[in-house]
Amino acid sequence: MAFPAQRPRRLRTTAQMRDMVRETRLSPSDFILPLFVASDKDAERPITAMPGCKVLSGKPLIKYAKKIRDHGVPAILLFGIATRSEKDLTASTASGSDGPVQTALAQLKDAVPDLVLIADLCLCEYKSDGHCGILKDGQIDNDATLERIGAIATAYARSGADVIAPSGMMDGMVQAIRTALDADDFKNTATMPYSAKFASALYGPFKAGTDSSPEVGLHHTHQMDMANGREAMREIALDLDEGADLIIIKPALPCLDVIRDARERFSVPIAAYHVSGESAMIRAAGERGFLDADKVMMESLVCIKRAGADMIITYSALDAIAQLQR
Ligand code: PBG
Ligand code: ZN
């Protein structure tokens, strides 16, 4: 029998009742915080295109990492910011011994061992042409890129990375990394590919902030078409076959259906990346007084978890934790 026997509002009468029946709860352990590191000593400078984010290294980096850990965040995701002179056509800085990410990993592993260190792996941050792969005749050569990806993964693992997160959407990238890591006895270093990374204008602030926009856009030849949900399941299945331990879906809010489908089909942990543009939209609307940015951010994060994400990669992790504790 429906109404009047059924009255869902009975369970919403008080804050305590609503708290009791709440299905999804955010906690600090849900979050992964992206960090940007450079190779100059003790750097601490804001990234204009991404308010609240900084480029860090050395002492300020360690201090911030400890703060993150003290707030209960289990993991950070490292991105390298390379100078012009650190960039070339093969992304050699990414596989050398003193690249920004390698240096940061070694310092963090030593100073904050109780933080999971995830290293984003792509060539674009280190290539003078800004592309995610090695070019041949104006196109990205998938297999030549895989060789570089394997070498970079080994350099990151050697420096202390617990997890390698390849973000270039090259075919076979997980296998290339797994093979390289296992050959070097890094059997316990995990892989966390961006399995379903869609080509999106929502990465705009990140690209402006990290100076990694390519001269000629080839992103659509490797990142997925936003229109394709079934293809995302195929990409995830392939990465898992190649040995992926965790997967990333990105961006987050436009992909809640993909997150849900993946949750139902696969049993690995799923991370959703709430990207720079998603964060910027909320912040900008809040600054103009159109909405309450803090509340909209919390709604966004809880809905990403409700859709099925186990972890959320977000620039707002510390702000969200402050709100949870309020
Ligand atoms: C590539 C990478 C990008 C982002 C994460 N990893 C940029 C891109 O693919 O163009 C975007 C993240 C964001 O927008 O917050 N290394
Ligand atoms: Zn890239």
- The model's pLDDT over 166-196, given as tens digits with 9 standing for 90+, comes to 999 999 999 999 999 999 999 999 999 999 9
Domain contains 10: no
The answer as to whether 150 is a domain residue is yes
Residue 220 CA to residue 318 CA, distance in Å, equals 33
pLDDT band with cut points at 50, 70 and 90 for residue 1: confident
pTM for this model (two decimals): 0.97
Strands (E), 93-198: 116-121, 135-136, 139-140, 163-166, 190-191, 194-197
Residue 6 lies in a domain: no
What residues contact 253, with CB distance under 8 A and at least 6 apart? 274, 278, 300, 303, 304
Cα–ligand 1 centroid distance for 22 (angstroms):
33
Nearest atom (ligand 1) to Cα of 274: 15
Burial class (CB in 10 A: 0-12, 13-18, 19+), 14: exposed
CATH number of the domain to which 56 belongs? 3.20.20.70
65/57 Cα distance (integer angstroms) = 11
Whether the pLDDT of residue 214 is over 90: the answer is: no
Q: Residue 59 carries which side chain, given as an amino acid letter?
A: K
Which two structure tokens, joined as six digits, stand for 150? 């394997």
**Cβ–ligand 1 contact at 275 (below 6 Å):** yes
- What is the per-residue pLDDT for 218? 87
71 lies in a domain?
A: yes
> What distances in angstroms separate CA 25 from CA 28, 167, 299, one per listed residue?
10, 28, 11
Judge whether residue 300 has pLDDT over 60. Answer: yes
Give distance in angstroms: CA of 207 to centre of ligand 1. 7
What total of structural domains would you count in the chain? 1
| CA–CA separation, 222 and 239 (whole Å) | 14
Answer whether residue 5 is part of any domain.
Answer: no
3-state DSSP call for residue 128? coil
Provide the residue count of the chain: 326
Task: Give yes or no for residue 297 having a pLDDT over 60.
Answer: yes
* Average of per-residue pLDDT across 134-162: 97
Q: Which ligand is nearest to the CA of 129?
A: 2
Domain of 251 in residue numbering reads as 24-324
Q: Residue with the nearest Cα to atom 1 of ligand 1?
A: 167
Is residue 79, in this structure, part of any structural domain at all? yes
- Please report, for the chain, how many H helices and E strands are present, in that order: 11, 13
Out of 87, 197, 207, 305, the active site residue is: 197
Is 292 part of any domain?
yes
> Average pLDDT in the 78-92 region?
96
For the question of residue 197 being annotated catalytic, the response is yes
Per-residue model confidence (pLDDT) at position 210: 85
Is residue 16 included in any domain, yes or no? no
Query: Identity (one letter) of the amino acid at 242?
Result: E
Residue 215 has pLDDT above 60, yes or no: no
In the reported structure, the alpha carbon of residue 18 is separated from the centroid of ligand 2 by a whole-number distance in angstroms of: 43
